[in-house]
Amino acid sequence: MAGARRTESFPPALTLTSTVVIVSTHLAAQPGDIADTILLPGDPLRAEWIANTYLDDVVCYNRVRNMLGFTGTYKGRRVSVQGTGMGQPSLAIYVHELLTEYGARTLVRVGSCGALVPRVNLRDIVIAMTACTDSAMNRLRFEGIDFAPAADYGLLRAAADRASASGLPYHVGAIMSGDSFYNDRPELTKRLAEYGVLAIEMEAAALYTLAAKHRARALAICTVSDSLVTGEETSSQERERTFAAMARLALDTVGAEPDPGGPGR
């Protein structure tokens, strides 16, 4: 039965105790293992890097499918970091379980994006106010209505204020969450740029939609890893390890104020 709690025994070599509670399908965390405030990088190795670099008292609560998840503290506040994989279907699995099974209330995607307009440069930070998408997920969910997935205003404003105060190169505006990394219709991304869409990534629209459904707060903060305008790009190692400003901005944003218990809409 979906959502049911059950227990299952594992060999002692696989766990510290012989009996664990199975809470969700794709996360091995026990009740209470995951904080209500969570950073969501797509790359599980980036999740590990963020946790080991910025959090204290880090515990790894998930290795299922190598989609690593960690909980620790940042400046005294309990924070988790959970990898989501690439694309909206993958992120939606983890976010759904975090919201419905573990009580997540504040979720911030930290990832990479590609610039669509000349004024957005390599390694700039893009804070996504809303996310367009070519995914069919919301078309199926809303039966043809064009739902507009949007960020939590309180988180967005806090992130923008902190980026400005820190002197970071940042932009606030619309992004595109695409279903295809290798796009056969590049003219469509050019059309989006004509309408002011700043950058393209693959997850934010699903995150914002699920957060709205479950009355949680969500934000996507992305570092520009490549430019569809100039052709510049960062290396895979940089994309995994060196987006430090984005990670600090996200952590300082969620650590600024307590979760008010619902979306700032």
Q: What is the DSSP annotation of 91-126?
A: HHHHHHHHHHHS---EEEEEEEEEE-STTS-TT-EE
116 closest CA partner among 194, 228, 225, 196: 228
Q: What is the DSSP annotation of 39-67?
A: EE-SSHHHHHHHHHHH-EEEEEEE-GGG-
d(CA 1, CA 6): 10
pLDDT in tens, 212-260: 999 999 999 999 999 999 999 988 777 665 589 999 999 999 987 654 4
Name the maximum alpha-carbon separation found in the chain: 58
Predicted confidence pLDDT, tens digits, the chain (265 residues): 444 444 333 334 334 444 667 788 899 999 999 999 999 999 999 999 999 999 999 999 999 999 999 999 999 999 999 999 999 999 999 999 999 999 999 999 999 999 999 999 999 999 999 999 999 998 899 998 999 999 999 999 999 999 999 999 999 999 999 998 888 888 888 999 999 999 999 999 999 999 999 999 999 999 999 999 999 998 877 766 558 999 999 999 998 765 444 444 3
Q: Domain residue spans in the chain?
A: 6-256
Q: What is the CATH number of domain 6-256?
A: 3.40.50.1580
pLDDT in tens, 135-155: 999 889 999 899 999 999 999
Active-site entry in 134, 226, 252, 259: 226
**What angle separates helix 88-101 from helix 204-213, to the nearest 10 degrees?**
30
d(CA 251, CA 213): 24
d(CA 151, CA 85): 20
**What angle separates helix 244-256 from helix 153-165, to the nearest 10 degrees?**
120
| Residue 17, number of CB atoms within 10 A of its CB | 9
| Residue 23, number of CB atoms within 10 A of its CB | 18
Give how far Cα 206 sits from Cα of 52, 62, 236, Å: 27, 22, 24
b/e burial code for range 176-197 (CB count within 10 A of at least 16 → b): bbbeeeeeeeeeebeebbeeeb
Reply yes or no on whether 226 is catalytic.
Answer: yes
